[in-house]
Amino acid sequence: MFEKLQQLEERYEELNRLISDPEVIANQSEWQKHTRAHAALEEVVLVYRDYQQIQKNIEENEELLESQQEQDFRELVETDLAELEEKREALAEKLKILLLPRDPHDEKNVIIEIRGGTGGEEAALFAADLLKMYHRYAEKKGWKVEMLSSNYTDIGGFKEVIVMIEGKGAYSRLKFESGVHRVQRIPVTESGGRIHTSAATVAVLPEAEEVDVNINPNEIRIDLFCSSGPGGQSVNTTQSAVRITHLSTGLVVSCQDEKSQHKNKDKAMKVLRARLLEKVQEEQTGETAQARRIMVGSGDRSERIRTYNFPQGRVTDHRIGLTSYRLEDVLLGELDEFIDALITTDQAEKLKRVDS
């Protein structure tokens, strides 16, 4: 492990020199590549340097113990030494985690697609609740939320809604939200006061840049149409809405929220790139996806991952068996309890595979 850490520190110093080199700075694409690599290494290198400093302090204290006979002073040194050894152990564990294979998309922005599933209007209303939940979570993190596409119902729910969340590490925090979210409550559409079970599907995709996914213009068909509101009625007379069909895969993306045809096309292309990247990932993951399925789920949209039970004020994540009775807080964006537990579980599983 320490040989690997030494190599990473040397690479970090090399990148330090490169991003300060005027010739590299003049080539912006090259400079940005080195800057991203530098940022990716920074945390592990800084933790490693902390570890090295503590190791040096431990060695100095051990030398003091060998040369010092005064009992009171020895006790002070021994207390300090015990604290340093505890810190060293904690840093060693942190370094193990930081050295685990990283998801190359962790630092990316995300595109979240939410669709009402089983339950009709109530499912569409729950999809709207989930959108608000993620919007509030993003606000707490200082991230920007942009609506890409929406298909809403007469009473304020969403048949489908797609948003982009822009912020450092957004994908690393939200990637385990993919799957079926189930709600148990009395719907506003229910006159008899009976509890219904409905569901909405969430898909979290890393934003794909043009360098990640190359889309051949000859492989897409672009159709223009008038945007529509609830019930399908036309809300304008200009063909500003855009539908893009990727001919080789059959993927179809529509965007109509903007009045500008150009803006709708840009948003549709963002969603299409993200879906194509997801498709490539699904074909390549294989063993990695299987390992992830063990504890935190595959990210498969058909997998039930969480239940929101309103009568009991309870939220349960079925993948890790975590239950919270703070339903209202969770829906207000207090998601870190679940997200931290999912990340910790994922890291523990990866460490277990490395150790075995």
70: pLDDT strictly greater than 60: yes
130: pLDDT strictly greater than 80: yes
Say which residue, 297 or 162, is predicted with more confidence: 162
- Within its chain, how far is the Cα of 35 from the centroid? 21
Does the domain at 217-282 match CATH 3.30.160.20? Answer given as yes
What ranges do the domains of the chain cover?
Answer: 2-98, 110-207+286-352, 217-282
Record the tokens describing residue 247, joined without a space: 């001919």
C-alpha 223/C-alpha 28 separation (Å) is: 36
Q: Residue 354's pLDDT is what?
A: 64
Q: Residue 179's pLDDT is what?
A: 92
Q: Residue 293's pLDDT is what?
A: 44
Please report, as a single letter, which amino acid is at residue 95: L
Q: Residue 299's pLDDT is what?
A: 44
Nearest to 317 by CA among 178, 185, 139, 186: 178
Helix (H) or strand (E) holding 145: strand 144-152
Over residues 8-20, mean pLDDT = 91
Identify the weakest region by mean pLDDT among 103-107, 157-161, 178-182.
103-107
Count CB-CB contacts under 10 A for residue 75. Answer: 10
31: pLDDT strictly greater than 80: yes
C-alpha 154/C-alpha 173 separation (Å) is: 33
Q: Residue 101's pLDDT is what?
A: 73
Fold of 110-207+286-352: Alpha-Beta Plaits (3.30.70)
Q: For 209-267, write each residue's pLDDT tens digit.
A: 766 677 888 888 988 877 665 544 445 555 678 888 888 888 888 888 777 888 888 88
Three-state DSSP state, 356: coil
Q: Residue 327's pLDDT is what?
A: 97
